[in-house]
Structure 1
Amino acid sequence: MTTLRMAAVAAEFGRDLEDAFATVERLIKEARAEGVRLLALPEACLGGYLLSLDDDTALDEGPPALAVDGPEIRRLAAMAGEMTVVAGYCEAGGDGLRYNSVVCVSGDGVLGNHRKVHQPLSEDASYASGDRFHAFDTPVGRIGMMICYDKAFPESARALALDGAQIGVCVSAWPGARTNASADLAEDRWKRRFDLFDRARALENQIVWLSANQAGTFGSLRFVGSAKVVDPGGEILADTGVTAGTAVAELDVAQALQTARRSMGHLRDRRPDAYTPSGAATA
């Protein structure tokens, strides 16, 4: 049996990159001390998220744009060392555009990168959109990444699972409800949706699921925390609740996937020919 100790973080991050790296370094050191080999940090942890999801780009200049092959990501990789670390940042694309991105690194460098595809509300005023989902191999297994609102679309996680992802990692800056907000974040309806998506994406694809999220507040946003590790049956193995913290769990990933898929294999039993809407040429 080969088990993997993995963790997902809920933490607060702002605009200051040095402060962000200090927090990241602390979280990596704490995870390393607990034997964690795969660590997921939140969306936009390097430079912070947007101050508002309304169409108001005048609030500030937004997070600093970093090149995926630039010094900041190399610094993150050096901190990761023997661990595999996933972290969100604002990517400076070679096309001159800015992307809401997530990178996977180890001490060997960049292992994978994903640009957020689905953009909620007015996020497209600050970022360009990515256009694909793909899995990639890492020292801890084959991983697929997505960002926040991406997980609201079943096709996102399904594309990763069909590409062989054993572990789905979703990093978020998921806030509480904009209207009729609950004073108690634990009872917030957007928090419930966050949790439902995490469990459903794991269960329907029978993969291990790591969900990291921002915590605290930033601008007008109040984040729901709720970082967690979910098994291929949709059961939550570890959860931070709505406060900052690290959810840590240990699992034999290959065995967990085999057990979940032994009788009812959701990927195996698919019927793609039946999914095309009547009269449509493509699904």
Structure 2
Amino acid sequence: MAPVFKVALIQLHPQPVAPAENFAKATAFIKDAAKQGCHLAVLPEYHLTSWVPDDPQFRQSCIESMKYLEKYQALAKELNICIVPGTIVEARSDDDTSTSSEGPSMLNVAYFVSSSGDVVGRYQKKNLWHPERHHLVSSAHEPHEAFDTPLGRVGMVACWDLAFPEAFRELISDGAEIICVPSFWTMRDVNDEGWELNNNGEAEFLNSAIVTRAFENTCAVIYVNAGGPAEKGEKTNFAGLSQLALPHVGSIGRMGRAEGMNVVELDKDVLRIAEENYKVRADMKREGWHYAYTRIREGGKL
């Protein structure tokens, strides 16, 4: 039988430009997850700073938040738990093309920290949401790469990447069994016309896409979004809806829209059964497979 892993979905409500406060809150959740025997804890995108690019303190708070990666490494080692600390915005100033009149370019980066405290995976967000493009640099044509972890082979994407099936296909072509998706997705990420068509439209998008990606790729999708203030319950524009999706099974532990934590079980035997039925990975390895991907497989064939 394949192993069963316990995963903590930590749907944090990040305070704007308050890395220390948000880190302290995240730490409390992670320690609780470790006490419950979790193997992995996943946090949302922008969990240290929130997404407030027009705040004059935002850029500096992002620069300050870079030091928290080492703190997460120490925490992972101390608690013997893997951590995906959402995304951490980095400032890049290593060449002339990376700077502007406002200072260093900003990169939105997700990390996978192993239970040993080592960083075993890094992903810079590729598909930037439209407002992000004024502030962040995309990883553009860099390949999506999976990596080995105590839970097996894992890939990472972030938020709007969810809308691109190509990203998931490239990750599973590199052997990913689990794909983590830290996110900062709200209910009002649309214009007034879109909102009037369906004020629950973003929830429909998320719930359908997360489960679809799991089915069509015979993989587990761990989606963790920012949530609203706990005291306001569901009366918030934060979308929440953090969940684990598995093929055959569908959504597990789907949360509401408020801050909180759910612990779910990821049974990797489900992935074996799904692949035996759908044969997605087997087909992709066949000679003459008719869809090309960025990654070159063994023998130099696509």
Task: Tell me what 1:267 maps to.
Answer: 281
Task: Tell me what 2:232 maps to.
Answer: none
Q: 2:111 aligns with which of 98, 103, 115?
A: 103
The amino acid of 1:102's aligned partner reads: A
> Is the 8 Å Cα contact of residues 199 and 234 (structure 1) preserved in structure 2?
no
Task: Tell me what 1:6 maps to.
Answer: 7
Deviation, 1:273, is 5.0
Rounded to whole Å, the distance in 2 between the matches of 1:13 and 1:113 is 22
Structure 2 spans left out of the alignment, 5+ residues: 95-103, 230-235, 293-301
| Higher mean displacement: 240-249 or 140-149 | 240-249
Deviation, 1:86, is 0.4
Rounded to whole Å, the distance in 2 between the matches of 1:215 and 1:160 is 27
DSSP-derived class of the 1:259 partner: helix
DSSP-derived class of the 1:114 partner: strand
DSSP-derived class of the 2:58 partner: coil
| Higher mean displacement: 144-153 or 173-182 | 173-182
Q: 1:39 aligns with which of 32, 38, 41?
A: 41
TM-score by length of 2: 0.79
Rounded to whole Å, the distance in 2 between the matches of 1:67 and 1:134 is 28
Task: Tell me what 2:90 maps to.
Answer: 91
Instruction: Find out whether 1:134 has 2:130 as its counterpart.
Output: no
TM-score by length of 1: 0.84
Rounded to whole Å, the distance in 2 between the matches of 1:143 and 1:127 is 25
Rounded to whole Å, the distance in 2 between the matches of 1:47 and 1:100 is 12
Task: Tell me what 1:72 maps to.
Answer: 68
Deviation, 1:274, is 3.7
Q: 2:248 aligns with which of 233, 244, 248?
A: 233
Rounded to whole Å, the distance in 1 between the matches of 2:123 and 2:12 is 21
Deviation, 1:166, is 1.0
Task: Tell me what 1:256 maps to.
Answer: 270
Deviation, 1:232, is 2.7
Deviation, 1:39, is 1.1
| Higher mean displacement: 145-154 or 77-86 | 77-86
Task: Tell me what 1:161 maps to.
Answer: 172
> Is the 8 Å Cα contact of residues 283 and 289 (structure 2) preserved in structure 1?
no
DSSP-derived class of the 1:161 partner: helix
Task: Tell me what 1:62 maps to.
Answer: 58
Deviation, 1:66, is 4.5
Task: Tell me what 2:212 maps to.
Answer: 200
Q: Deviations over 1:204-244 (max 9, x none)?
A: 10101100001127xxx932001101113361121112222
Q: Deviations over 1:41-96 (max 9, x none)?
A: 000112222x3xxxxx544342533599x632110111222111002110223534
Task: Tell me what 2:162 maps to.
Answer: 151
| Higher mean displacement: 83-92 or 148-157 | 83-92
> Is the 8 Å Cα contact of residues 12 and 26 (structure 2) preserved in structure 1?
no
Rounded to whole Å, the distance in 1 between the matches of 2:291 and 2:194 is 37
> Is the 8 Å Cα contact of residues 75 and 117 (structure 2) preserved in structure 1?
no
Structure 1 spans left out of the alignment, 5+ residues: 52-56, 277-282
Q: Deviations over 1:225-277 (max 9, x none)?
A: 01101113361121112222223221331x2211111122122224875447x
Matched residues, number: 264
The amino acid of 1:98's aligned partner reads: M
Rounded to whole Å, the distance in 2 between the matches of 1:60 and 1:167 is 37
Rounded to whole Å, the distance in 2 between the matches of 1:204 and 1:66 is 38
DSSP-derived class of the 2:258 partner: coil
> Is the 8 Å Cα contact of residues 229 and 248 (structure 1) preserved in structure 2?
no
Instruction: Find out whether 1:212 has 2:224 as its counterpart.
Output: yes
> Is the 8 Å Cα contact of residues 74 and 109 (structure 1) preserved in structure 2?
no
Task: Tell me what 2:101 maps to.
Answer: none
Rounded to whole Å, the distance in 2 between the matches of 1:237 and 1:125 is 35
Deviation, 1:189, is 0.5
Rounded to whole Å, the distance in 2 between the matches of 1:111 and 1:46 is 21
Rounded to whole Å, the distance in 1 between the matches of 2:185 and 2:241 is 10
What's the % identity of the aligned pairs? Answer: 27
